[in-house]
């Protein structure tokens, strides 16, 4: 889908063995180490984002933080089962419905977050940019960042930097098919 008006980006932390969360969704292995990474550019990244597209599990995880990290941003959640009266989000049942909403709302830069949603956007060739901050830890099992693809997806490295405490950050542009 190359004719869409909005740019999509991912910025996500991952263990060295490729997991974004433990099997039960726990991300303490990342949050307890995250401050050690130093400046990651996340605040600058978020300053350029006007809309977030979240998967249901990610939305539910954010609700446990005790604060709403997306103040001033439009937030759309893709879920076929979620029911909520949370005025901060709009829920969409299908990917097509979500994409139509993003276009109709005038989204320009969309932050895609959530393991399954990221995988869906990758499979559908809907991602433009991926920033991965790798934590120097092996957790052995969990929720993988990447999943099956119908074909190879070529990426072009646009930035790489070593952060503090052994963290590594790489940014890739997705090469359009």
Cross-strand bridge partners of residue 156: 173
User: Per-residue confidence at 170, pLDDT binned at 50, 70, 90?
Assistant: very high
pLDDT at 29: 94
What pLDDT shows up at residue 177? Answer: 64
Positive or negative torsion for Cα 9, 46, 92, 24: positive
Mean pLDDT, the chain, as a whole number? 94
88-127, pLDDT tens digit by residue? Answer: 999 999 999 999 999 999 999 999 999 999 999 999 999 9
Q: Which residues contact 40 (CB under 8 A, 6 or more apart)?
A: 133, 163, 167, 169
Summary count for the chain: helices (H), strands (E): 5, 10
13-39 confidence digits (pLDDT tens): 999 999 999 999 999 999 898 889 999
Residue 2 has pLDDT above 70, yes or no: no
Inform me whether the pLDDT recorded for 167 exceeds 70: yes
Helix (H) or strand (E) holding 14: strand 7-15
pLDDT higher than threshold 60 for residue 1: no
Distance set, CA 155 to CA 33, 132, 145, 163, 177 (Å):
28, 13, 15, 22, 11
């Amino acid at each position: 889908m190359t004719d869409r008006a909005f740019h999509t980006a991912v910025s996500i932390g991952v263990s060295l063995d490729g997991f974004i969360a433990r099997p039960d969704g726990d991300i303490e292995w990342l949050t307890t180490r995250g401050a050690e990474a130093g400046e990651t550019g996340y605040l600058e990244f978020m300053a350029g984002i006007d809309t977030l597209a979240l998967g249901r599990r990610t939305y539910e995880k954010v609700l446990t933080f005790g604060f709403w990290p997306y103040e001033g941003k439009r937030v759309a959640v893709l879920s076929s089962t979620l029911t909520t009266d949370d005025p901060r989000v709009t829920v969409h049942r299908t990917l097509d419905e979500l994409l139509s909403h993003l276009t109709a709302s005038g989204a320009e830069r969309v932050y895609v977050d959530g393991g399954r949603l990221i995988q869906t956007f990758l499979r559908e060739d809907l991602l433009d940019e991926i920033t991965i901050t790798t934590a120097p830890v092996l957790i052995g099992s969990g929720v993988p960042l990447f999943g099956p693809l119908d074909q190879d997806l070529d990426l072009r490295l646009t930035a790489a930097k070593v952060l503090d405490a052994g963290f590594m950050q790489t940014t890739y542009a997705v090469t359009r098919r």
